[in-house]
Amino acid sequence: MGEVELRELVPQVLSVLVRRGADFATAEDAVQEALIRAVSAWEDELPADPKGWLVTVAWRAFVDLARSDAARRDREVRFDTQPPTGVVPSADDTLHLYFLCAHPELTSPSAVALTLRAVGGLTTRQIAQAYLVPESTMAQRISRAKRTVGRSGLDRPGNVRTVMRVLYLIFNEGYSGDVDLAAEAIRLTRQLAWSVNDPEVHGLLALMLLHHARRRSRTRPDGRIVPLADQDRSLWDEALIAEGITVVQAALARDRLGEYQTQAAIAALHADAARVGDTDWVQIVEWYDELLQFADTPIVRLNRAVAVGEAEGAPAGLAALAQIDAHIPRRDAVAAYLHEKNGDLELAARLYADAAHNAPNLAERDHQMRQAARLNQVLRHHQ
């Protein structure tokens, strides 16, 4: 059994323990212990019922953990060492775990970490590596999150919108260490889509698939950013694009439009263009107008200004940009692009330099510096 298949059993096994009365924090530790034992015990031969094996071992581990705590001695009277028999957990059980991990009292980093542990089945070490923090730091974060859920009670779970936000946060971390968080987020969102009758969940899945399809083309081997217009579209994953378009079309057909569906529709229009010149910018502007109804944020308005510049010309894009606060991050980069498109290379070069100075990360800073250097070289050539 592969690592991903093993991890897929985690929420099901954890659901059994929680549903049978185990407290969430101890049950989650017990499931992790069962996973560790499974790696060595299954090395030569898989059990006939892997899920049942994990449930049995996890339950025994839970009882051992409960007995080791003097404050929980009364629990021994209520729990036998054998797991109760009964039906396997349904999709609703796994869904409940998602909601517990998106508990309203948890911070976003804690909710992400707990989701990756309890639903994703990742180890603390893997999560720590993915987020580039010490394992001890991540262990403390997860422990605090479990205590919060246990202290606040299991009757105050988050809602599906919070779950989706947590999954999108995981997706946007991309890849780090030995865990591909983008792929992990897609796997977990697929599970959520199977469990929830909500077109927005399918919109989120489609958005992830369409962004992930362009992953290989986004950066060069040396880590440099490749803008969408310059990406090698032969590197795009056509199967993921086809699936993403199918998923978002089915979601949109249900006529319950939401933020993620709208973003996915925009991504689909980009992905469906064989060449950058084939992009339907007019329709993209229309979708950005729809998106503003759900998320009227500076980044959405910046992206819309770019789209307007492509659809109606640079002056129209600059007019749209003029309505956005001058201090918004990345505004200088958008202004530089539109001024370059409008033929004002000197101003564009200065704005690219400003964008580099205010860039949120090294990769973007280097990209904007190269843009400024490129235009300055053109200006020197014309002098």
**pLDDT digit string, tens, across residues 210-232:** 999 999 999 998 889 999 999 99
pLDDT above 90 covers a percentage of the chain that reads 52
* pLDDT class of 175 with cuts at 50, 70, 90: low
* Residue 153 reports pLDDT greater than 70: no
What are the distances in angstroms from CA 140 to CA 111, 170, 178, 336, 364?
Answer: 13, 19, 21, 44, 32
Helix residue ranges per DSSP H, 153-237: 160-172, 181-195, 199-213
* Residue 236 reports pLDDT greater than 90: yes
Residue 364, judged by CB atoms within 10 A of its CB (0-12, 13-18, 19+), counts as middle
* Residue 241 reports pLDDT greater than 90: yes
* pLDDT class of 70 with cuts at 50, 70, 90: very low
Coil vs helix vs strand at 175: strand
Can you read off the two tokens belonging to residue 298? 């500076």
For 23-58, the pLDDT digits (tens) are 888 888 899 889 888 888 888 788 889 999 999 999
- Do residues 102 and 93 touch, judged by C-beta distance below 8 A? no
Residue 176: which H helix or E strand, with range?
strand 175-176
Q: What is the CA radius of gyration of the chain?
A: 25
* Residue 85 reports pLDDT greater than 80: no
Instruction: Measure the CA–CA gap between 381 and 345, rounded to whole angstroms.
Output: 12
Instruction: Measure the CA–CA gap between 108 and 41, rounded to whole angstroms.
Output: 36
- Do residues 238 and 299 touch, judged by C-beta distance below 8 A? no
Can you read off the two tokens belonging to residue 232? 């090698």
Average pLDDT value for residue range 132-142: 90
Instruction: Measure the CA–CA gap between 94 and 10, rounded to whole angstroms.
Output: 9
Q: Which residues of 41-64 are buried (b: 16+ CB within 10 A; e: fewer)?
A: eeeeeeeeebeebbbbbbbbbbbe
Q: Torsions phi, psi of 225, nearest 5?
A: -70, 140
- CB within 8 Å of 327: residues ≥ 6 apart: none
Which of 65-74, 186-195, 341-350 shows the highest mean pLDDT? Answer: 341-350
Other Cβ atoms within 10 Å of 97 Cβ, number: 24
The mean predicted confidence, pLDDT, of the chain is 87
For 264-309, the pLDDT digits (tens) are 999 999 999 999 999 999 999 999 999 999 999 999 999 999 999 9
Position 178 scores a pLDDT of 62
Taking alpha carbons only, the member of 102, 141, 98, 139 closest to residue 120 is 98
